[in-house]
Amino acid sequence: MAMFSLDLTDKRFYRERKSFLCIDGSKMIPFEQVNDDYCDCADGSDEPGTSACPRGRFYCTNLGFRPHYIPSSRVNDGICDCCDASDEYNSHARCQNTCWNLGQKERAYVEGQMKTLDEGLRLKQQLIEDGVLLWREKQAQLRELQRAAEDLQIKLEEHRKRKHEADRLKEQTLKALKVGDRGFRHQNSTVSHLFQLLDSNKDGSISLDELKAKVVLVHDETRVLSEDEALTLLGGGHQMDLSKFQNTLWDVLIRGDGYKVRSNTFISVFHISSNVSI
């Protein structure tokens, strides 16, 4: 029987006994006919170590490298197909066992692949961690934006309230201005009327003598104003026109806390000045 190697999964079919059953179950032969360089089984299973069967396979053990099958037709054909040279056990070919060198190269390649895989996994983990951090940052930013939106909504509501209040005050102001305009015109007519009463000679200005003749002290109507008092009321000059009167002396006379118009003059404008003071 020629030498042959077997895959561990196939060894159970080749336990030495009186007979051998072809693996495909097609035929039973004496065990002595296994690997006798003659093909008895249609699936070539009786010749695992020869090239007798066209459908047969030879198992390369290739210790130190990857085991594999080759077609039985390549056994002892003078060409080294197995790295351990087991396929040329009965030929003149001089085959070197290169399995260890091939195994080293493959192991180095696999280690390189494993390192690349480890680096890829590390980078993937880093990307996941970076992604989680980025997601958390975006969530924090989203919360900040939501809070800002809520604050803006509150401010918007406050602004609307203020605008509503401003519109209400504007409407009230416009109404008041309409009323005030009428009062202002009435006040102007009253100012003009009093000015004319004090301007005895109707020359468009109140002189020092005209002022002393018609303006007296509140608490002593009988005393005539001194020249210094009259000059002070006239703003330091000897006469006063309507514009200056409206901005200075008019307010003094309307307040009535120091000076007033003589009673006989005041009666004619009493109802006017009292309406203005109200």
CATH number of the domain to which 194 belongs? 1.10.238
Q: Is 108 in contact with 116 (CB distance < 8 Å)?
A: no
Q: What is the pLDDT of residue 13?
A: 85
> How many structural domains does the chain have?
2
Whether residue 143 is contained in a domain is answered as no
Rounded Cα gap, residues 96 and 263, in angstroms = 148
Whether residue 152 is contained in a domain is answered as no
- Domain boundary residue among 40, 75, 97? 97
Whether residue 200 is contained in a domain is answered as yes
Whether residue 266 is contained in a domain is answered as yes
Calculate mean pLDDT across residues 23-38.
92
Whether residue 245 is contained in a domain is answered as yes
Strand partners of residue 71 = 57
Calculate mean pLDDT across residues 24-48.
92
Whether residue 158 is contained in a domain is answered as no
Whether residue 62 is contained in a domain is answered as yes
Average pLDDT, the chain: 85
Name the residue range of residue 216's domain: 186-277
- Domain boundary residue among 81, 97, 113? 97
Report helix, strand and coil shares of the chain as percent, to nearest 5: 55, 10, 35
Rounded Cα gap, residues 167 and 169, in angstroms = 5
Q: How many CA atoms lie less than 13 Å away from 276 in the CB half-sphere?
A: 21
- Domain boundary residue among 50, 76, 97? 97
Whether residue 89 is contained in a domain is answered as yes
Q: What tokens appear for 10 in the block?
A: 């196939």
Of the two residues 31 and 177, the one the predictor is more confident about is 31
Q: What is the pLDDT of residues 125-177, one digit of tens each?
A: 999 999 999 999 999 999 999 999 999 999 999 999 999 888 888 888 777 66
Q: Considering the entire predicted model, what is its pTM?
A: 0.41
Q: Is 205 in contact with 239 (CB distance < 8 Å)?
A: yes
Q: Is 195 in contact with 240 (CB distance < 8 Å)?
A: no
